[in-house]
Amino acid sequence: MKIIIAEDEQRTRQGMERLIASIEGDYEVIASASNGQAALDMIVQLKPDLVFVDIKMPFLDGLSLIRSVRSKSVSVEFVVVSAYADFQFAQESIALEVAGYLLKPPTREEITKILKKIEVRLAKKQVYSVQEQWSLREKYPDAHPIILRALDVIQSGYTGKINQKNLAGDLGLSPEYFSYLFNKNIGENFSAFLRNYRIEQAERLYCTGECTKKEVPYAVGFSDAKYFNKVFREVTGKTPAEYIQNCEKFN
């Protein structure tokens, strides 16, 4: 597992490096950064599996760093390590799909536990990325080439905001013609398809445990958990709790 540490305090940064090096397993700190901008450059260039990130850093704070990486569609796990036991920071971190939130100074036991957790997450991601590669294209092989490109955008970007008008513009179409073409090729309108696809991904996350139950709504592109629960029930006929209970019976 390739790891980057983004921490402005040198003593803390070096202490975490030594701690990780002492833990048995395939863990390697490949780089460390003392500010958020340097960390961003390293992440984009080196593509680590995991980044331990501080909240308060010069040039770019920890949460802004995570947002910047997400916007670049770089697949990496984040663990926030902060001196602040602040509910708002923790809540924002969950919305950004971080794998953990640790208070300084993290103990060896806490670091070991989070590394093992991320190993599992990475393994599951690898399995599902192979299974789902080009799955939407395979599902609609006869769709118009432009619609296939739209499906690519949905599959790779469903966790963020996808706007039909902007997508149509990016594809060189008017919103009206894009809507017509999508409905003709897929058999349902764009917003309904995107909603259903996000719920399918939520079902997968609930069954795999790839992220916590509270993280799932935000991990599939919803900003409001109550609205997610309403949509989930409309699409599946079950509440998330009922679905999870049913899923656990078969695992």
Residue 49: predicted pLDDT = 92
User: Region 46-60: what's the mean pLDDT?
Assistant: 92
User: Region 217-230: what's the mean pLDDT?
Assistant: 94
User: Region 172-188: what's the mean pLDDT?
Assistant: 95
Domains, the chain, with CATH or none: 2-129 (3.40.50.2300), 135-249 (1.10.10.60)
Residue 40: pLDDT over 80: yes
Query: Does the global pTM surpass 0.85?
Result: no
Q: Which residue has the tokens 């090096």?
A: 21
At residue 92, the 3 state secondary structure works out as helix
Q: Which of 127, 110, 120 is nearest to 52 (CA)?
A: 110
Q: Write down the mean pLDDT value for the chain.
A: 86
Residue 126: pLDDT over 60: no
Helices (H), ranges, 2-107? 10-21, 36-46, 62-71, 87-95
Residue 131: pLDDT over 90: no
Q: How confident is the model at residue 212 (pLDDT cuts 50, 70, 90)?
A: confident
User: Region 91-114: what's the mean pLDDT?
Assistant: 81
CA atoms within 13 A on the CB side of 139: 14
Residue 206: pLDDT over 90: no
Residue 68: pLDDT over 70: yes
